[in-house]
Amino acid sequence: MEKNIVVLTGAGISAESGIPVFRSETGLWENHRVEDVCTPQGYQRDPELVRKFYDGMRLNLRKVRPNPAHLALTRLAENWKGGFTLVTQNIDNLHEQAGSRNVIHMHGELTKLRCYEALGGCGHVVETMAAQDPDEACPQCGKKLLRPHIVWFGEMPLDMDLINERLAVADLFISIGTSGVVYPAAGFVRIARQAGAATLEFNLEPSATKGYFDAGIYGPAGKTLPNFVDGLLRDGYDYLRGILRENSLL
């Protein structure tokens, strides 16, 4: 019986591609307070500030490229015989640039805008790589209520039913480059454990949820992940058992 793998990535997998991670010592994110740029209230207060914040990150996507960690996940997905699910907290398109398909962007995507339902919009989603034009009307309902299709704090992450379905039948849960601070993503390892999955984190240093992982491999994912994927594809679960033993956190 082939095993099901669920992977969760966070900002750390994009760090070696030059995209700053979410949390920093200053607690600021790209020089902004999180509550000003990553909450519905912040958007209500100053939609122009929030639009420009995401415009900057969207336009930056033209300059960044996937790193070996993204490419290793594409290789794993393409060659793994069992089920493979990639969930990301990231809003960049580096997994897609690396060739990953069916990526579940639970916190939304920089390359999409949505007609804002809470203000009376229709929820229609449009793709864009450009700076947002605040006067652009929704192609579906004609209202000028388009907003970044990003999940802000206090908003429900996307595709949670699908994610929970995949976690419920996971045999291996791999978390890569996340501090384990933001929920519900940080709770996925517990759901996977309850389903009987082996759990493994790849990070620069132990995450806040390290206590729920069987093992941890610490260092830049661009270096650690390709080796792991090569071993798993070569020797399957024999290799995994060795890795879990050598890097046990229990």
> Which residues are known catalytic residues?
107
Three-class secondary structure of residue 4 per DSSP? coil
Select 118 or 137, whichever has its Cβ closest to ligand BV8: 118
- Per CB under 6 A, the list member of 138, 221, 232, 243 interacting with ligand BV8 is 221
- Per CB under 6 A, the list member of 7, 72, 87, 151 interacting with ligand BV8 is 151
Three-class secondary structure of residue 176 per DSSP? strand
Select 179 or 247, whichever has its Cβ closest to ligand BV8: 179
Which residues between 106 and 145 bind ligand BV8 (CB under 6 A)? 107
Q: How far is CA 210 from CA 128, 179, 187, in A?
A: 37, 9, 11
- Per CB under 6 A, the list member of 104, 113, 145, 150 interacting with ligand BV8 is 150
Q: How far out from the chain centre does Cα 74 lie? A: 14
Binding of residue 42 to ligand BV8 (CB under 6 A) = no
Select 121 or 220, whichever has its Cβ closest to ligand BV8: 220
Phi, psi of 88 (to 5 degrees): -125, 145
CA gap 152, 196 in Å, rounded:
31
Q: Smallest gap, in angstroms, from Cβ of residue 168 to ligand BV8?
A: 20
How many residues are listed for the chain in this entry? 250
Binding of residue 177 to ligand BV8 (CB under 6 A) = yes
Segments in 99-220 forming alpha helices (H): 160-168, 188-194
Residue 162 token pair: 């699908």
Which element (helix H / strand E) includes 225?
A: helix 221-246
Residue nearest to ligand BV8 (CB): 12
Binding of residue 174 to ligand BV8 (CB under 6 A) = no
User: What is the Cβ-side half-sphere exposure of residue 83, based on CA atoms within 13 angstroms?
Assistant: 16
Binding of residue 68 to ligand BV8 (CB under 6 A) = no
Residues that bind ligand BV8 (CB under 6 A): 10-12, 15-16, 21-23, 38, 89-91, 107, 150-157, 177-179, 181-184, 202-205, 207, 220-221
